[in-house]
Structures are given as structure tokens and as C-alpha cells.
Amino acid sequence: MEANRSRLLNAARPYIQIYSIFGLTPPTQFFTRTLHKRRRGILILGYGCFLIAITLMVIYECYANIVALNKDLHQFHAEDFSKVMGNTQKVLVVAIFVWNQLNILLNFRRLARIYDDIADLEIELNNASRGLSGQHHWWSFRFRLAISVGLWIVLLVGLTPRFTLVALGPFLHWTNKVLTEIVLIIIQLKCTEYCVFVLLIYELILRGRHILQQIGVELEGNHSRDSVQELCVALKRNQLLAGRIWGLVNEVSLYFTISLTLLFLYNGLTILHIVNWALIKSINPYDCCQYMRLGTSLLLSINIFLACLYSEFCIQTYKSIPRVLHQILCLPAAEDFPMLKMGLREYSLQMEHLKLIFTCGGLFDINLKFFGGMVVTLFGYVIILVQFKIQTFAHSKVRQNINMTEIKEKYRVN
């Protein structure tokens, strides 16, 4: 792995190791260039068997949960679209895990290129900033990664069993419940893996923008032709690095396209499924799981929100680069040196064409606008679901009253 020459990847390495333990991404040892070929082959074979074992376990747990769900539905006489919704949710779990394993196989080389690009960009950005004044210290990235991702992983692992264990129902054996909780946690960790890569890109964009700001500071205080020519070269290098960051974003988006699409679909469907069960069990005055269902819905929503929020941070920071270019263009040095002015305009034109977008195969963009649209859509479906359930409850109440009336009439006749 390129962590040996990249401080950013070295800071993210503990998280990548955690994801590899859960079968979400290949272990970092697979990308170590010094690893012997035969030993790498043995590790890949062993990890492949481990992934197959995880997939078989998930398939079995999916079957056990479907059986328990059918018993629950039969007990509450709710065998309507609840059965279709619940079974679809369970099948989506299997689809997510199967695709994650296929993604490791099909996109192994793409992931290696992503690691290489991150390491190379960090080295080149560090080299580009050496000759500039006002150096910035980046030692706090590890701490920010721990606050942004590490803390949320701890909350996910701690709160998911607290909110979902009781809701699994009485028809599921305790061993199946434990394995189901592990599966539910692993699914949500895929979103945090995406967040780690987004934060790595965010850090690279911040460093590129900082270098550009320092170029502007140098141009304010020095107008000699030789120094301006050197700054023009630095500006061109920064432009090329910005283009490579844009390409890195596309690679990361392609790597997570289907994984995030399935995950977002699963979370949305699970929230609707939770609301559906809350309505079904609302007639029970002793039901104590309503607050837990609300907590589960919040966990699923926050997980999607964080992915959209960090992507939005990247997008907005990238969009701030043209403003820095405009500030440099307004300096007197830009008017005195046509070469510098042309370089700034070329850079600005590139930023207009290479817009930073985190997308899932063109189906949707991962940003705060998408999250807002998703929330509105879910509320719309929840309203429809509530109206449907209220109508069903009303019909059931009417039928119950008719049956009670008929029974009373029979007793009177007798």
C-alpha cells in the first residue's frame, strides 16, 4: 500500500483495516509492493474464502429473518404489502453483500489506482508548497478523521444493537439475532468507508487551495519578472493538480456507484418498513419499541446525511477556487504580466468545465440537495402509508363492531 509514502493514507489505514475485517474492502497488505508474489496469492485465496463464508452467513440470516417475519405478519394479521416490503428489505441485504464481494474482485485495480493517485497528489502538493511562504501544518488530519468518522463508527456499533435488537421479534433465535446485528452494522459501515475517501479528497482540495492562496500572497509583494515567471509555473502546476483531483473524484464515484445506490435504497426502504411496523403495533398499548424504531430511523438517516455532508464540503471548497483565482486576477501583477493573466483565465476556464460532482452512475448526485430530496420523498411515502393504514384500521374496526353486534343479536334470540 502507498501508506508508507503518504501521511494521509497512513492516517486512514486503521479504518481501512477495520473495513477489511468486515469484508468491505481488501486488506492493505494486498497493495504492498514489497510483498512476495506467492505470499500475496496465499493471502488473496484465504481472504476470498473468508468473503465466501461471510456471504453464506448473510444468506442464511436473510432466510431466518424472512421466516421470522412471516410468523410476525401472521400473528398480527398484516399479510398485505408489509410482507413484500419486508422480504424485499431482506433480499436487498444479500444483494448489498454479494455486490460488495464482486466489487472487490472487479474493481481491485481501480482501488489500487485510487491509492496511488492519493499518494502521488499528496507528494506533489507538498513539493509545490515548499517554495512558498506561510506554510500550513496538516498534522491534525488524523484527529479530524477520528472526529468525523471514528466517532460515528463507535456510535453505530454501540447504538445499532440498542435500537434494533428488541425489534427483531420473538421468533428469531438469539444466535440469529447476534449475527443479524453484525450484518446490520457491516451494511452501514460501507457508508463510512465512502466518507473516509471523501475526506481524503477534501484534504487534497484544501491543500491545493492553500497553495493557490500563497501564490496570491507572493504576487502581492513581489513584481519582478523572474519571480512572476516562477509563480506562473507554480500556478500551472496547481492547475494540473486540480485536474487530477477531479479525475480522482470520478474514480472514487465509480468505485462506490452500485454499493451506495443499494445502501441508500436499503436505508430508505428500511425506514418505511419501520414506520409500517410502528403503525401495525400502535394498537398495542404495551408496545415499548416506538422510541427504538425512531432511533433506528435516525441512525439510518444520519448515516446518509454524513455522506452527503462531507461530499458537499468537497464541492463547496472546490467551488471556492475560482474566487481565489478572481482575487489574483484583480492584483496589479496580473495586468502587468500578460502571461500570468492568460494562465489565470485558462485555470478559470478549466474550473468552469471540470465541475466537481459526486455521483452514483448518473442516477443521483451525493450532496445535501439529494439528501433533502430523499427526506421529502420519504415523508411523502410515509403520509401515503399512514393514510392506507388508517383506512385499513377503520375497516377492521367496522368489521369488529358488526361481528360484535351479530353476536349480541344471537344471544338475545337465544
Sign of the C-alpha dihedral computed for residues 137, 143, 145 and 147 taken in this order = negative
In the chain, the amino acid numbered 266 is Y
The set of cell numbers assigned to 268 is 430508505
CB 272 within 8 A of CB 385: yes
Crossing angle for the helix pair 321-329 and 290-319, to the nearest 10 degrees = 20
Range of lowest pLDDT (12-16, 66-70, 387-391): 387-391
Domain ranges, ordered by start, for the chain:
2-366
Residue 183 pLDDT grade (very low, low, confident, very high; cuts 50, 70, 90): very high
31: nearest Cα among 108, 99, 102: 108
Chain centroid to CA 193: how far? 7
pLDDT of residue 21: 92
- CA dist., res. 86 & res. 66, Å (int): 8
Residue 132 pLDDT grade (very low, low, confident, very high; cuts 50, 70, 90): low
Chain centroid to CA 265: how far? 12
Cα-Cα-Cα-Cα torsion 401, 403, 405, 406, nearest 10 degrees, comes to: 170
CB 75 within 8 A of CB 83: no
Range of lowest pLDDT (165-174, 196-205, 213-222, 306-315): 165-174
Q: Does 412 score more than 60 pLDDT?
A: no
Q: Does 390 score more than 80 pLDDT?
A: no
pLDDT of residue 397: 47
pTM recorded for the entire structure = 0.88
- CA dist., res. 293 & res. 284, Å (int): 15
Most confident of 27-31, 287-291, 366-370, 401-405: 366-370
DSSP structure class, residue 359: B
CB 203 within 8 A of CB 138: yes
The set of cell numbers assigned to 93 is 441485504
Range of lowest pLDDT (21-25, 297-301, 380-384): 380-384
- CA dist., res. 140 & res. 249, Å (int): 23
pLDDT in tens, 268-321: 988 888 887 777 766 555 555 667 778 888 999 999 999 999 999 999 999 999
Most confident of 151-160, 212-221, 270-279: 151-160
pLDDT in tens, 323-373: 999 988 888 877 778 888 898 899 999 999 999 999 987 888 999 999 999
Cα-Cα-Cα-Cα torsion 173, 179, 182, 183, nearest 10 degrees, comes to: -100
Q: What angle do CA 223, 237, 198 make, to 5 degrees?
A: 125
Q: What is the average pLDDT across 170-187?
A: 87
